[in-house]
Amino acid sequence: MRSILVKEYLPSKNGWEESIFHTANGYLGIRSCSEEGVGDDVFSVLGGYINGFYDIKDISYGEKLYGFPETAQTTVNITDVQGVKLFIGDEEYSLSSGKILKYEHELFMDRGYQEKRILWRSPSGKEVYICVCRMASLVQKHLFILNYKVVPVNFSGKVTIKSSVVGDVENFASADDPRLAGEAQSYLVVDEADFVDDGISLMLSSTKRSKLQLYCAVKHRYSKAFDVEYKKEGNVLTTVFTASAKQDKAVFICKYCVFVDSRRNDNPKEKSLEIVKEAFLHPIECFMNKQQKYLEKFWDTSRVIVEGKKLQRSMDYGLYSLLCSVGRDGISSVCAKGLSGEGYEGHYFWDTEIYIFPFFLLTNPEIAKELLMYRYNILPKAREHARIMGHDSGALYAWRSITGSECSAYYPSGSAQYHLTGDVSHAFVQYYLATGNIEFMQKYGAEVLIETARLWMDVSHEKDGNFYIDSVTGPDEYTCIVDNNYYTNCVAKENLYWAYKIMEILSEKDLDKDIIKMLKISDKELKSFKKASDKMYLGYDEKLGITPQDDSFLSKAKIDLSSIPEDKFPLLLNYHPLWLYRHQVCKQADVVLAHSMFEDYTDKKTMEKSFLYYEKITTHDSSLSSCAHSVLASKIGDMKKALSYMESSALIDLEDTHNNTRDGIHTANMGGFYNCIVQGFAGLRIKEEGLYLNPQLPPKWDGYSFSLYFQERLVSVKMTKKHVTLRLLDGEPINLFLFGDKIKLKDKERISL
């Protein structure tokens, strides 16, 4: 398994390094900040986050109209446990003083931890080797471990380590970037801070407005050579370790840091102390062994083998980061930046359902189910949001949120993106088709499908035998408030059909009575869903032979993207929205994404012409764009372009091609990179009839391979220049479609074509 390794410390890349090497487990995330801190001239975001742990802030408007959200939720920078200061005699270790003789920062994706190895010479000539290991436990989600080891290289003498727990923290902000908070704020208030139970640093903090509580408990293991002293100064708890260290003899401290929040626990104080005391009984090696075993199982079914060392490293990093970002408790989902930074303020978007969910659906259906449970649990908020937006019935999911209420202050590219509701229903449908879990659909999924279908019935209108949807925004945020956005109409069409279909399936199994009674569903209403789906308007331009993005898009002025200076990208930071709205320019895949997801709604020739048309006017200012173009390029058979777009997607974070990884990784793109291979190159589609595969090989590639779960079977797919080989690794025999032909896979059987 390839690791991520940096061999030189560059202050100019400090923010990037903090994001790339962040430590997370889906619940807890800690940016990889220098323990001793950095200078004021070095970009750094000292941050730690808990998935779904938030506070509330006011939204200010110059002119506030009805229905605009008055407040928003934002993720909270939590208690800082990263601080460790090292003193060699009276000299303080710092990356900005003395001389760095060797620097290595490495993330081990097969073992689940990162390690910094530094050889440093002090201004007076003393050399010291420092090894820092960090791990967020994948088996104990509340636990973060920081192991700090020091080896005197050319001297013996006094070594002092000061380990701190700091309660006064604030969130990062940038007034010039709408993807970040506009004003730095401190959301946590320290209520209690003291040493308890033989040296445990215990700190209770609470959010100012959401009134959530967070307990942080820290306990140290350390070398016997150390004398220990405890100091409390305001909201800073410092444990001081002092030793007379010997040359070439290592001394260490190991911080066991436990975070427990009140959203998920009734008694977070008791829970935090219980966990930290239990963890303290075991050396870090014990947790490393458990971490490695967990990851062995993960990689066994999740790894995708691709061509090229650089691409394989990016794929491994992407899938590892998805695992470390995903909420697994029905309370949280996947933040736009995972748990690596504060970009988009920790909000959940459509990214999860369309770009990330497919990976978990095919590799870990249980995690996929928890992502759906998050959407089910906020369904009451979606109903409430629909009423605010003027709909008498149905559920409308908020564009960006944490607990379900709308957090977008700019409705043209926020609340107007009704397609999110269809994206959510799409994920429920895909889950049912991939798992066959009808009990889940009876208890949860059908309710979501019915309520979202009711939303489409309320927002659409019938005219001349067709159903139309007016005044919405599709995925392309450079084109807002339009009629009949093709992508939106596609997800609505599918949503309406499956609201009807799932009730038909439940009726056949005599499982429909409770939900009919609860939601007061009539046969007339179900038939109206089916009719609206059948008659949903999907535009087509006869002259160009393409799919119009919306009713007015093709009549707008054209611009030559090559005429725009490079320093004006991304356009959203350099051009007024109205200027963008008046031109044929796309921020990201819109029609292209619709065609890749709903290939049966049109013919291949239209897809091909549409791809070529929109390719010329798409900026790819969104990290969600290149991967979608890659998938459709594969579908139309242009494997050269498919590979090019896939490579562009692969390098966004590790090579920082969008120049903003310092604000956090692009989590959804990592799912998109996976989709480039599985949905794109392999042509995988999950349809009502079953699983379809249409594998192709990019030019100059020798092959690729992956495994997937489908209806409780584990299947491997391997593509080479000569063969495509399918094998049933586990489960009962199953029928699949390969190149359009139905085949039957039997136990341990290989089928090669």
384 given a catalytic annotation: no
Length of the chain: 753
- Point out which residues pair with 24 in neighbouring strands: 29
Tokens read off for 701: 């590639």
Q: CA-CA distance, 513 to 517, in Å (whole number)? A: 6
Torsion 220-226-232-237 (CA) sign? negative
- Closest by CA position to 292, among listed 551, 112, 497, 172: 112
DSSP state at residue 592: H
Instruction: Please state, as a whole number, how many other Cβ atoms lie within 10 Å of the Cβ of residue 512.
Output: 18
- Point out which residues pair with 204 in neighbouring strands: 192, 215
Element (DSSP H or E) covering residue 606: helix 604-615
Q: Report CA-CA distances (Å) from 601 to 269, 415, 437, 491.
A: 54, 26, 26, 11
Q: CA-CA distance, 144 to 28, in Å (whole number)? A: 8
Q: Which residue has the tokens 């009704």?
A: 418
- Closest by CA position to 421, among listed 389, 468, 443: 389
Q: Which residue has the tokens 């291979």?
A: 677
Residues 502/445, Cβ–Cβ less than 8 Å: yes
Which residue of the set 345, 477, 599, 647 is catalytic? 477
Q: CA-CA distance, 719 to 677, in Å (whole number)? A: 11
Q: Fill in the amino acid letter for 208.
A: K
Indicate the pairing of strand 71-75 with strand 734-738: unpaired
Contacts 24+ apart (CB under 8 A), 393-396: 393/454, 393/455, 393/457, 393/458, 394/451, 394/452, 394/453, 394/454, 394/455, 394/456, 394/457, 394/458, 395/421, 395/448, 395/451, 395/452, 395/454, 395/455, 396/421, 396/455
Report the catalytic residues: 477
